[in-house]
Amino acid sequence: MRLWKGLPSVGDLKRLAGIGRVLAKHGLGEAGERLFRPSEGAAPDSRAVPAFLRAALPSPRRVRLALEELGPSFVKLGQLMSTRADVFPPSYIDELRKLQDSVPPVPFARVRDVVERELGRPLTEAFAEFDAVPVAAASVAQVHAARLPTGEAVAVKVVRPGIARRIGQDVRLMEYVAGRLERAFEAARLLGLTQVVQEFERTIFRELDMLIEAGNIEKFAGQFAEDDEIRIPRVYWEHTTKSVLTMEHMDGIKMDEVERIRAAGIDPKEVALIGLRSFSRQLMEFGFFHADPHPGNTIVMADGRVSLVDFGITGYLDGDTMRQIANLFLGFADHDYDQVMDALQQAGIVSERTVDLAAFRLDLKDVAEAFYGRSLRHISVVDVYEQVMGLLFAHRIRLPRNLLLLLKTFIQTEALGKILGSDASLLEVTRPYARRLVERNYDNRRLFGHLDRDLRAMAGYLKAMPKAVHDITRQLAAGKQRLELSHTGFERFDAQLDRGVNRLTVGLIVSASVIAASLVLTSTQPVLIFPVHFFGLQTLSVTQVLGLAGYTIATGLGLWLIASILRSRRL
């Protein structure tokens, strides 16, 4: 990942100045002032941080308006931020969801130049017809209706000319701005704005590559090849490049046009069920899901089938995550919160180290139980989303990107079902798919297949081990590696050993004192005899004094040693 160190070009400086003007225009002057403060390395005034935290963040509406005016790159960033409800407060999520991708279309002459350059031939040669007016125009690309020389109706998605360069410049500025804001505002640092920009950079350039989207379409087409409810458009690879995607035109009705669907003799509730079943299969069978199923990307065809289009945003789930999600759905469907908590812990979403599991389980149950037994028509999707996100926010739980994308898709799918007046429950529709997934993992052939795979892996490890040991030994002998050994768990042993040695030493001193005192007192050659008148004694020698002192010391140390042994209860 690139680290932005400065602003080397005049163009970058002009763009950054423009960002400052937009911030000031929308009442974000404090952010602009701190952003352009010359003393970049200086820490912000400590008195300003509490005031800022008390005021939280700037007005959500002002932020949205500023992002819209800053252009396509910042609109896309705002859309990404709207999915990070585990990071941003609910008021921001609600406002950022209003960001729209619609922008004025690129002039047809520039679109023609892109298509001809990418396909390497004149537009009139590549297409029999090409509508100059786009069907849809978004910040990254726009779509034109066309017809191939062979007669097939197609939709041609063309990346806006120069958008990659513009986004690259904006991403550099975003990194710079995010770093400055994190240094200027404690709240910006806590929200992790730099990480949000890095995540944005990873996703936006994938969305600019039409070959990636074409591959996603082909993968979906293979998965739903035998499905008579879902229709995936065909990709025309000879008319597809990195900046141009040509796919089959899907004629039909947008899913939110309920009256038109009903007028065509199609039951909207059945359409909703098709969507729910499709979503369940994507999660529980394929581990690959369409992550942007809004009405404009979901077409109801004349024969009642549903077509998915626009595969720029997709999500992946590995086998372990699929099983955990299946157990999660089954746990919620059966009101089994032990199963739900196990699935969440296995997925690494919650753990004893980071979350009070008992409190989280109780809060989760309070949220979930309120929605049991209610159809999509009687559930506020926004309410579900806000409560789930509030729960994550309250317990400081951060979801991985693929699960955040899945949650957003889940909410969008339920929203479509509600628009269509569905009486179905997503949990009930998904339950059989989840159960089949769990059962498949206990299938004997699958278990033996996993065992065979693990044995092959173990054989590979055993085969490689002698060479690895030889290489390590040779490097150690050559002084290229250093072997360090450390032991733990001996701290108490050391303390006990010290205590035992000390007691033994005291015992030896007591014994030596007794023996020395006895020898001194029994001596027949007194030294320095002097007269005393105390307790009837007439004379006293130094040898007698030393002997008595030895007995006194021995007695005191002996009593102390006995007391310490009794206290330790280890005779």
pLDDT at 32 (0 to 100):
54
Cα–Cα distance measured from residue 421 to residue 376, given in angstroms and rounded to the nearest whole number: 8
Mean pLDDT on 231-236? 95
pLDDT at 476 (0 to 100):
72
The answer to which of 120-134, 325-339, 454-468, 552-566 has the lowest mean pLDDT is 454-468
pLDDT at 169 (0 to 100):
82
pLDDT at 44 (0 to 100):
42
Q: 525's torsion region: left (phi>0), alpha (psi -120 to 50) or beta?
A: beta
Q: Helix or strand or coil: residue 95?
A: helix
Band the pLDDT of 415: cuts 50, 70, 90. confident
Band the pLDDT of 127: cuts 50, 70, 90. very high
Band the pLDDT of 259: cuts 50, 70, 90. very high
Cα–Cα distance measured from residue 132 to residue 142, given in angstroms and rounded to the nearest whole number: 11
In this predicted structure, the answer to whether residue 123 has a pLDDT above a threshold of 90 is yes
In this predicted structure, the answer to whether residue 423 has a pLDDT above a threshold of 50 is yes
Cα–Cα distance measured from residue 413 to residue 384, given in angstroms and rounded to the nearest whole number: 13
Tokens 């310490």, residue located: 564
Count of C-beta atoms within a 10 Å radius of residue 238: 10
Q: Helix or strand or coil: residue 531?
A: strand
At 108-119, the pLDDT tens digits run 999 999 999 999
Mean pLDDT on 283-308? 87
In this predicted structure, the answer to whether residue 34 has a pLDDT above a threshold of 70 is no
Mean pLDDT on 143-152? 96
Cα–Cα distance measured from residue 551 to residue 162, given in angstroms and rounded to the nearest whole number: 100
pLDDT at 48 (0 to 100):
37
Please calculate the CA angle 13-26-172 and round it to the nearest 5 degrees: 30
Helices (H), 147-285: 163-184, 186-191, 193-207, 210-223, 258-263, 268-281
At 197-209, the pLDDT tens digits run 877 787 788 888 9
Band the pLDDT of 249: cuts 50, 70, 90. very high
Cα–Cα distance measured from residue 527 to residue 543, given in angstroms and rounded to the nearest whole number: 6
The answer to which of 52-56, 408-412, 504-508 has the lowest mean pLDDT is 52-56
The answer to whether 262 touches 268, Cβ cutoff 8 Å, is yes
In this predicted structure, the answer to whether residue 491 has a pLDDT above a threshold of 70 is no
Band the pLDDT of 420: cuts 50, 70, 90. confident
Nearest to 259 by CA among 425, 421, 424: 421
In this predicted structure, the answer to whether residue 524 has a pLDDT above a threshold of 70 is no
- Is residue 215 exposed (0-12), middle (13-18) or buried (19+ Cβ within 10 Å)? middle
- DSSP codes, 394-434: HTT----HHHHHHHHHHHHHHHHHHHTT----HHHHHHHHH
Structure-derived torsion over alpha carbons of residues 118, 121, 122, 125, reported in degrees to the nearest 10: -120
Q: What is the pTM of this model?
A: 0.65
At 38-95, the pLDDT tens digits run 444 444 443 333 333 334 456 788 888 888 788 777 887 777 777 665 566 667 777 7
pLDDT at 562 (0 to 100):
73
Cα–Cα distance measured from residue 567 to residue 84, given in angstroms and rounded to the nearest whole number: 59
Cα–Cα distance measured from residue 391 to residue 360, given in angstroms and rounded to the nearest whole number: 8
At 160-189, the pLDDT tens digits run 998 888 888 888 888 887 787 777 776 667
The answer to which of 65-79, 243-257, 463-477, 484-498 has the lowest mean pLDDT is 484-498
The answer to which of 28-37, 38-47, 310-319, 433-442 has the lowest mean pLDDT is 38-47
Cα–Cα distance measured from residue 144 to residue 155, given in angstroms and rounded to the nearest whole number: 6
CA 403, 408, 412, 415 dihedral sign is: positive
> Per the structure block, which two tokens stand in for 490?
């001996």
pLDDT at 181 (0 to 100):
75
pLDDT at 2 (0 to 100):
43
At 474-483, the pLDDT tens digits run 777 777 666 6
The answer to whether 287 touches 437, Cβ cutoff 8 Å, is no
Cα–Cα distance measured from residue 431 to residue 256, given in angstroms and rounded to the nearest whole number: 26
pLDDT at 55 (0 to 100):
44
Structure-derived torsion over alpha carbons of residues 240, 294, 231, 330, reported in degrees to the nearest 10: 120
Cα–Cα distance measured from residue 70 to residue 72, given in angstroms and rounded to the nearest whole number: 7
What does the buried/exposed string (b/e) look like for 431-463 if buried means 16 or more CB atoms within 10 Å of the residue's CB?
bebbeebbeeeeeeeeeeeeeeeeeeeeeeeee
* Rg of the Cα atoms in the chain: 38
Select the highest-mean-pLDDT range: 370-374, 421-425, 446-450.
421-425
Q: Which of 251, 292, 318, 454 is catalytic?
A: 292
292 is catalytic: yes
Mean pLDDT on 450-457? 58
pLDDT at 494 (0 to 100):
62
Structure-derived torsion over alpha carbons of residues 556, 557, 558, 562, reported in degrees to the nearest 10: 110
Q: Return the higher-pLDDT residue of 493 and 53.
A: 493
pLDDT at 3 (0 to 100):
41
Q: Helix or strand or coil: residue 517?
A: helix
In this predicted structure, the answer to whether residue 347 has a pLDDT above a threshold of 60 is yes
Q: Any residues with CB less than 8 A from the CB of 569 and at least 6 apart, and which?
A: none
